[in-house]
Chains A and B, each alone.
Chain A
Amino acid sequence: MELKEKLVSSFMAFEDRIDIDSPVHDIRSEAMKTFETDGFPGKKNEDWKYTSLKSVLKHDYSVFPKQENHIDYQQVKKYFIHDIDTYKIVFVDGKYSSYLSETTHEGIDVCLMSSALNKPKYRLIIENYFNKIAGKDSITSLNTAFSQEGAYIHIPKNKLVAKPIQIIHFATGNESALMLQPRNLIVVDENSHVQIVERHQSLTENPVLTNSVTEIYANKRAIVDYYKIQNDNEHASLIDNTFINQRQESFASLHTFSFGGKLTRNNLSFFQNGERVDSTLKGVTIIGGKQHVDHNTLVHHIEPNCESHQDYKGIFADSSTGVFNGKVLVNKEAQKTNAFQANNNILVSDKASINTKPQLEIFADDVKCSHGCTIGQLDETAMFYMRSRGIPEKEAKALLMFAFSNNVLSSVKIPEIKERITKIIAHKLGVNIGFDL
């Protein structure tokens, strides 16, 4: 059976099992209709021109994991940011793992989407926020239709959440092929500040496909710093759909570190629904083999006096392929917008490729918008300079790549994450540079 048909028929069984009175019942049904009509996006869809899902859709995925799996903390400790105190929301094969998690209801809610969808006390928030900014495209709709589990985070106003929150999904390989559809909802109220780290990690060589949707609401003067660490194995693919709605004077930053996975597609949309909003979108992609990473960003400037900063760096080795499609939309009312976009790429091999496409649609007349993309090779003179100081070729390359990624790394606010990313990069490049940048 084709995956689409399997999902459509599974939905009926899924619906039978869940509360028909749930406030999201109609939303789910509506979303399923969209997916049923549109199906998975193909190459004719302009947004998916350079990313084909064909190779990841061919597996016979289990859509609902059959059993709960236990994994030992020691076995997966390395995937956690474990040297600082954090909240953790951890899922194993799509099921919540209370053993690996550390949630809270003290002053803030760091818990589960399934609770939020089912418990009356969360009903108002669900009604106000659930699926309000998530896209209506077929991929997001597919997730919406099956939305049931994921992270639910609500930070009421005037809270500075001292501990970062980690959202981690593990796949164990108990199923021969597994499809996961986590759904996260994050609401940060006035003047509050939260830091979130998200990671998807497969522990198996069995194929895993994750179609994740995250809605983030940064209300008035809220600060949200979000980090996505994508360093999965070559049998796991990820379609990440993240939507961020910002109210006035809020600050939201999202860093995406893409180092692994078979196919990774990041659909990232920012909506500036308030004045004096600041949005930062940054990413470092370092891949090789036959890996594919696609960044598809949208910044929608709706109100005046806002800023957006995009900075994506990519290093592509072997036969890896990359895509950057950055759309900046400035409404007529959004005067005094400052929108910056940069996408710089290095191709380390003749077989690697990158398609980069800035897309600016500007309807206001008093704005500053800039964009630039470059594709190049490693600077030969810089290589010779370092090697003439006794630094071997491999290490010199690594240092140059660090230097290239530095703008993105330097804005990471949690030192442990910066250190972790530095180590992952060093490991990926096969070097021990002996210091942290």
Chain B
Amino acid sequence: MLKINNLHASVDDKAILRGINLEVKAGEVHAIMGPNGSGKSTLASVIAGKEEYEVTEGSITLDDESIDEMSAEERAHKGVFLSFQYPVEIPGVSVTNFIKTAINETRKAKGLPNMPANEMLKMIREKSEMLEIDRKFLSRSLNEGFSGGEKKRNEIFQLAMLEPKLAILDETDSGLDIDALRIVANGVNKLKSEDNAVIVITHYQRLLDHIVPDFVHVLHNGRIVKTGGKELAHELEEKGYDWIKEEANA
């Protein structure tokens, strides 16, 4: 589904990604771990199409189609979703109205008519129940005054509504207490299918107890320096990242 080949990216002429190679197939869960500043969030933003990052080398394809030249919204329409580490507050636009706009714009891009109101309502009800989101929450302004946990849960609610092909969860576990973590992880697991894929970016192993990865990659200095199974995450949790850095620098 997603193929990243020798990807280099920089911001303000500072190289952050220095040759990433990654293939994610439908039905898989990949975890990307690594110390602060290793390029995890940059990788997520570059896949999603953030314009501040300049891709200097390499390519990204989604279902064998190059997405390098696509805008963020075009990538979203193709099925890429990024759950933000720091979701943005949009005062005056309710959660419901925002998601309606996002869904209908995506449908418009695919040449489909707006989703009928009753269908939309039904979907909103189902997905909010799945994530144990209070209905009142949905009429509040998007992310405005939300707690850290509420923001993350709202990200997963949008993920559930948009049903993307490729979901990238950037530090979704930060700011979540253990109950919220369980709810969010259950939500992601329910949405998982043979046709979609998930990339989980995290510092810690605890989210990976709930969303179990098929592959764990360790990012260091803008490169994937180690790849393993889910047991690699446990090893990192125990031993930290220093041994990886030493191995990489050796």
Those of B53-112 within 8 Å (CB) of chain A: 71-73, 75-77, 80-82, 84, 87-88, 90-93, 97-98, 100-106, 109
Interface residues in A347-404 (C-beta closer than 8 Å to B): 379-382, 384-393, 395-396, 399-400, 402-403
Pair A435/B101 contact, Cβ less than 8 Å: yes
Q: Flag if A390 contacts B162 (CB, 8 Å).
A: yes
Among A380, A386, A437, point to the contact of B92 (Cβ < 8 A): A437
Asked if B88 and A434 sit within 8 Å, CB to CB, the answer is: no
Query: In whole Å, how far is B164's beta carbon from the nearest beta carbon of chain A?
Result: 9
Flag whether B158 is at the interface (Cβ < 8 A): yes
How many B residues have CB within 8 A of the partner chain? 36
Q: Which of B52, B76, B91, B97 contacts A387 (CB 8 A)?
A: B76
Checking B52, B77, B87, B92 against A390 with a beta-carbon cut-off of 8 angstroms, the contacting residue is B77
- Are A406 and B91 in contact (CB-based, < 8 A)? yes
Residues of B within 8 A of A389 (CB): 76, 81, 98, 102, 158, 162
B49 at the interface (CB under 8 A from A): yes
Q: Tell me whether A209 is interfacial, beta carbon within 8 Å.
A: no
Q: How far is the CB of B156 from chain A (nearest CB, A)?
A: 13
Residues of A within 8 A of B77 (CB): 390
Chain A contacts for B195, CB-based, 8 A: none
Would you call the interface of chain A mostly helix, strand, loop, or mixed?
A: helix
A125 within 8 A of B: no
Partner of B105, one of A382, A384, A395, A403: A395
Q: Is the CB–CB distance between A382 and B73 below 8 Å?
A: no
The reply to whether A409 and B71 form a contact with Cβ atoms under 8 Å apart is: no
Q: How far is the CA of A396 from the CA of B114 in the complex (A)?
A: 18
Indicate if the CB atoms of B90 and A400 lie closer than 8 Å.
Answer: yes
Mask, A412-437, CB within 8 Å of B = 1, is: 00000000000000000000011101
Give the most central of B49, B87, B88, B114: most A CB within 10 Å: B88
Shortest C-beta distance, A282 to chain B (Å), equals 14
In the assembled complex, A74 has its CB within 8 A of some CB on chain B: no
Q: Which residue on B lies nearest to A405, using beta carbons?
A: B92
- Contact partners of B125 in chain A: CB under 8 A: none
**B175 to chain A: closest CB distance in Å?**
17
Is B51 part of the contact surface with A, judged by Cβ < 8 Å? yes
Known: A387-B76, A389-B158. A399 touches B101 (CB 8 A): yes
Given that A379-B88, A387-B71, A393-B71 are known contacts, is A437 also in contact with B105, CB under 8 Å in the complex? no
Is residue A410 within 8 Å, beta carbon to beta carbon, of the partner chain?
yes
Q: How large is the interface on A (under 10, 10 to 19, 20 to 34, 35 or more residues)?
A: 20 to 34
**With A380-B52, A381-B88, A435-B100: A390-B105 Cβ-Cβ less than 8 Å:** yes
Distance A233 CA – B87 CA, assembled complex (angstroms): 39
Partner of A382, one of B82, B90, B92, B101: B90
Q: Which of B91, B104, B106 contacts A403 (CB 8 A)?
A: B91
Select from chain A the residue with minimum beta-carbon distance to B103. A390
Question: Smallest distance from the beta carbon of B106 to chain A beta carbons, Å?
Answer: 4
Q: Give the residues in chain A near B106, CB-CB below 8 Å.
A: 390
Contacts of B98 in A (CB 8 A): 389, 399
A382 to B109: give the CA distance in the assembly, Å: 21
Complex-state Cα separation, A387 to B87, whole angstroms = 13
List of B residues within 8 angstroms of A433 by Cβ: 101
B206 within 8 A of A: no
Number of A-B contacts (CB under 8 A): 89
- Contact of A388 with B92 in the complex, beta carbons under 8 Å: no
Name, among A388, A403, A434, the residue most crowded by chain B CB atoms within 10 Å (CB to CB): A388
- Indicate whether B48 reaches chain A with its CB closer than 8 angstroms: yes
List residues of chain B with CB within 8 A of the CB of A410: 92
CA–CA, A402 to B92, complex, Å?
7
B50 interfacial by beta-carbon distance below 8 Å: yes
**Is A384's CB under 8 angstroms from B50's CB?**
yes
B139 → chain A closest CB, angstroms: 12
- Report the bound CA distance from A380 to B53 in whole Å: 12
Within 8 A of A (CB), among B21-63: 45, 48-52
Least distance between A419 CB and chain B CB atoms (Å): 14
Report Cα–Cα, A384/B91, bound state, in Å. 16
Which A residues lie within 8 Å of B73 (CB)?
387-388, 390-393, 396
Q: Give the residues in chain B near A396, CB-CB below 8 Å.
A: 73
Q: Which residues of B contact A407 (CB under 8 A)?
A: 91-92
Q: Judge whether A382 and B88 touch: CB under 8 Å.
A: yes
Chain B residues lying within 8 Å of A435, measured Cβ to Cβ, are 97, 100-101
Give the complex CA separation of A387 and B97 in angstroms.
15
In the bound complex, CA of A433 to CA of B92 (Å)? 13
Minimum C-beta distance from B138 to chain A (A)? 13
The contact of A388 among B52, B82, B97, B100, by CB within 8 Å, is: B82
4 nearest A-B residue pairs (beta carbon): A406-B92, A390-B76, A387-B72, A390-B106
Given contacts A384-B48, A393-B73, 18 further A-B contacts (CB under 8 A): A379-B88, A381-B88, A384-B45, A384-B72, A385-B84, A388-B49, A389-B98, A389-B162, A390-B102, A392-B109, A395-B101, A396-B73, A399-B90, A403-B90, A403-B92, A410-B92, A433-B101, A437-B97
Q: List 30 A-B contacts (CB under 8 A).
A: A380-B52, A382-B90, A384-B48, A385-B84, A385-B87, A386-B88, A387-B49, A387-B72, A387-B73, A388-B50, A388-B80, A388-B84, A389-B76, A389-B162, A390-B105, A390-B109, A392-B109, A393-B73, A395-B105, A396-B73, A399-B90, A399-B93, A403-B93, A406-B141, A433-B101, A434-B100, A434-B101, A435-B100, A437-B93, A437-B97
